[in-house]
Amino acid sequence: MTRTPLRTALVVSALAVGLSACQSPPPEPKASSDAVSSTVSSTGTASGKTSGAVYVTGAKAGDDPCARVVSAIGYLGLSLLPAGQEEAQHWDGDVRGRFGYLRGTLAMYGPHLPASASAAVATVDGLAETLSRADTAGSLRTDLLRRYRKASAVVLTACGRS
């Protein structure tokens, strides 16, 4: 007597249960229909709501744009070697993925940052796009990383962080 049909039936049943859970409708969004607003606090940081596509897991319309962008820059920084060691930086999927995460954060929150950061945000986004790609030549990465550090420092300063 072969156990294959029983084993197959159990596997198929388990997969069906798992897939049906994945196909349930998503919960209704809790975001209000308020007009998109953005204000600058007395410390020079932007706060307000974002609209449009969600590029960052867990992002909410009411999140502070500066806090989100500063957090993404810090998250990337955890995978980067200290300044001055750019030549030794390892460019694995973790580092490239964190540059991609930063791009998503900038796409969602960059337009709501203080105006003094707009040029630096565009620079950081362009550099992050290049540095997130696996096909970027290693000979270019060192200089691009140094340029990224300078531009991201401008964004941090505009958000009242250093």
Rounded Cα gap, residues 97 and 134, in angstroms: 10
pLDDT digits (tens, 9 = 90+) for 24-80: 444 444 443 333 333 333 333 344 444 566 667 777 878 999 999 999 999 999 999
SS3 of 40, please? strand
Q: Residue ranges per domain, the chain? A: 65-159
Interacting residues of 52 by C-beta distance below 8 A, sequence separation 6+: 108
Rounded Cα gap, residues 101 and 69, in angstroms: 10
Query: pTM for the full model?
Result: 0.67
State the alpha helices, DSSP H only, in 3-137: 4-22, 65-77, 93-109, 118-131
pLDDT digits (tens, 9 = 90+) for 90-141: 999 999 999 999 999 999 999 999 999 999 999 999 999 999 999 999 999 9
Rounded Cα gap, residues 63 and 145, in angstroms: 28
Q: Is 67 exposed, middle or buried (0-12, 13-18, 19+ CB in 10 A)?
A: middle
